[in-house]
């Protein structure tokens, strides 16, 4: 797909990756985009590049507007390789002596990535760069979601180039929020937040406060992945603030894996009872549901209930993998409980609880264990277990 004009003299020259299905453990079943932006002014400026294997397509898109060799400045908002991987080849094409503006941490990270002497120009937080009739302002957004991350704001046009914030892993011919179903794109944005930015929630709230204090007027937000927000940029900003608060709904997810369906039988009995108690309950089998989709549900759930059979005196491997993934994202304000079937030892519940303690969850029951196949008594125990959890969830 060729370049897209997003404002007078400003273009998205990025590329679509239709085929990617895994982004370092995140399920990207709709593909993604690597957006890069070209500003035509007295000093022609390129904001971000693309993955290394898409450089030819990027350069072709630029060539439809201007000879790439005429680019004067490059800005690197973020050094992760899906946005900087193509930088060495781009600079070789346009002139390796031309300046690459980046944050102070970006200066260090780019040098560490590429081990070559490009003309890096670190900028100050709040620093400005005049490129002609436009002036760019740089906003440091450290740890959103890398230490080097920053935004670039175009004064006059009131456009915010937001790097990995406000993005979505979505590939499509739609370019703007008013060209796609609102529910669909907000789902992709929510999943992106839950799996990439959740652990930085406190920083996001502070960032929005800082932008508000600066009085920046934002009429368009251009992230490095997915669609551009031009119809109502405040919608995604407000959503980030709300998601960052992690206010739980009366909702529970029952996450489990199973060997001979005994733990699955328990999971269904627990979920069924939760639903009868007025809780929005959802059972999620870890080898049927991708962990990134489960984490999307975790974002606004009140109760996380995890079930595992005991295997070799330990939890099932998929449960261990998921717990490690969830711990890294640091969800907050959750109640939790563990359950599982076992044959002769039954350590799984205790192990799951230790993870809950590490994450600071409120464990509302010491855990439910059923030996081998749940009988009538075992099912009744699952029902009582679920009722106790339901009563612990605020109405």
Give me the residue label for tokens 């346009």.
Answer: 94
Judge whether 148 counts as a catalytic residue.
no
Q: Which residue is catalytic, options 34, 37, 73, 192?
A: 192
Q: Which residue is catalytic, options 83, 169, 188, 225?
A: 225
Judge whether 24 counts as a catalytic residue.
yes
CA dist 21 → 17, 25, 164, 196, 375 (Å): 10, 9, 18, 16, 41
Judge whether 82 counts as a catalytic residue.
yes
Number of Cβ within 10 Å of residue 78's Cβ equals 26
Judge whether 192 counts as a catalytic residue.
yes
Q: Which residue is catalytic, options 8, 24, 181, 183?
A: 24
- Helical pair 317-329 and 348-359, crossing angle rounded to 10 deg: 10
Q: Which residue is catalytic, options 41, 57, 140, 145?
A: 145
Q: Is-contact 71 45, C-beta < 8 A?
A: yes
Q: Is-contact 156 135, C-beta < 8 A?
A: yes
CA dist 64 → 56, 75, 141, 176 (Å): 13, 20, 32, 21
Q: Which residue is catalytic, options 82, 140, 264, 297?
A: 82
Structural tokens at position 128: 């400005």
Closest Cα partner for 309 from 375, 260, 358?
A: 260
Closest Cα partner for 90 from 150, 14, 154?
A: 14
Judge whether 365 counts as a catalytic residue.
no
Q: Which residue is catalytic, options 17, 48, 57, 80?
A: 80
Q: Which residue is catalytic, options 17, 57, 140, 164?
A: 164
Q: Which residue is catalytic, options 78, 83, 188, 355?
A: 78
| 3-state class (DSSP) for residue 305 | strand
User: Which residues participate in catalysis according to the annotation?
Assistant: 24, 78, 80, 82, 145, 164, 192, 225
């Amino acid at each position: 797909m060729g370049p897209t004009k997003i404002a007078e003299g400003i273009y998205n020259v990025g590329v679509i990756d239709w085929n990617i299905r895994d982004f370092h453990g995140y399920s990207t079943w709709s593909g993604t985009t690597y957006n890069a932006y070209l500003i035509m002014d007295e000093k022609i400026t390129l904001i971000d590049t693309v993955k290394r294997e898409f450089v030819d397509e990027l350069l072709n898109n630029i060539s439809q507007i201007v000879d790439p060799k005429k680019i004067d400045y490059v800005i690197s908002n973020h050094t992760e390789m899906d946005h900087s991987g193509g930088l060495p080849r781009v600079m070789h094409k346009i002139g390796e002596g031309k300046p690459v503006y980046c944050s102070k941490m970006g200066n260090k990270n780019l040098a560490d990535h590429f081990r070559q002497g490009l003309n890096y120009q670190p900028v100050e937080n709040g620093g400005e760069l005049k490129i002609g009739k436009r002036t760019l302002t740089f906003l440091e957004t450290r740890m959103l979601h890398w230490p080097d991350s920053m935004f670039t704001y175009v004064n006059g046009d009131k456009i915010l180039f937001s790097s990995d914030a406000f993005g979505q892993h979505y590939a499509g011919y739609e370019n703007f929020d008013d060209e796609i179903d609102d529910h669909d794109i907000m789902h992709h944005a929510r999943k992106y937040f839950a799996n990439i930015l959740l652990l930085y929630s406190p920083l996001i709230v502070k960032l929005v406060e800082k932008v508000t204090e600066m009085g920046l007027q934002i009429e368009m937000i251009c992230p490095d992945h997915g669609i551009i927000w031009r119809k109502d940029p405040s919608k995604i900003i407000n959503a980030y603030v709300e998601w960052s608060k992690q206010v739980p709904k009366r909702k529970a997810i029952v996450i489990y894996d199973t060997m001979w369906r005994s733990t699955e039988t328990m999971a269904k009995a627990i979920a069924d009872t939760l639903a009868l108690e007025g809780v929005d309950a959802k059972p999620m089998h870890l080898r049927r549901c991708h962990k990134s989709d489960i984490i999307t549900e975790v974002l606004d759930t009140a109760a996380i209930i995890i079930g595992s059979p005991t295997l070799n005196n330990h939890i099932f491997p998929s449960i261990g993998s998921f717990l490690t993934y969830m711990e890294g994202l640091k969800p907050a304000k959750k109640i939790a409980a563990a359950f599982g079937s076992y044959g002769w030892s039954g350590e799984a519940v205790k192990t799951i609880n230790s993870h809950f303690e590490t994450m600071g969850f409120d464990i509302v029951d010491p855990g439910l264990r059923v030996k081998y196949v749940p009988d009538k008594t075992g099912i009744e125990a699952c029902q009582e277990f679920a009722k106790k959890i339901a009563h612990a969830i605020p109405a």
